[in-house]
Structure 1
Amino acid sequence: MNNFQLLEYAAWGISAVIGLWMLFDMIKTNIKYSEQTLLSSKEGEIEDVLVIDPTHQGGHR
């Protein structure tokens, strides 16, 4: 087995890990937020839902 084959296996391993991470994050996000919030296209609507500290509403304006 040469170095290029090792690099190929490493690349496949890294891509599998990233794919699983993306799947986990997708499931976690779908559980945490409603479909209405995830599909909203109205500017500021998502930010208002995600504000943890009300004193920071409005961003850096």
Structure 2
Amino acid sequence: MDQMKVTYEAMLSLAAEMVWDEALRKHRSEQIYCEIDNALAQGDETAFRLLTEELRMLKK
């Protein structure tokens, strides 16, 4: 029974970590979209390219 409890706790911990990672990824994506909008509004091509590349890497 103890082994089942350890396994269950490990799976629960992994699930929580996956939810946390997804929340962080979603939050960063939203930030990047805002920064991309600002870069476009300011005509900052360098920032736009860097941000779109970061967004591509984040989506992989």
TM-score by length of 1: 0.56
Matched, 1:18 2:32: no
Q: Percent identity?
A: 10
Q: Residue 33 of structure 1: CA displacement?
A: 1.1
Runs of 5+ in structure 1 lacking a partner? Answer: 41-61
- Number of aligned residues: 39
TM-score by length of 2: 0.57
Runs of 4 or more consecutive aligned structure 1 residues displaced over 4 Å after TM superposition: none
Q: For 2:13 and 2:7, locate their aligned partners in 1 and report how far apart those are by CA, in whole Å.
A: 10
Runs of 5+ in structure 2 lacking a partner? Answer: 37-48, 55-60
Which has the higher Rg, Structure 1 or Structure 2? Answer: 1
Q: Does 1 or 2 have the higher relative contact order (CA < 8 Å, sep 6+)?
A: 2
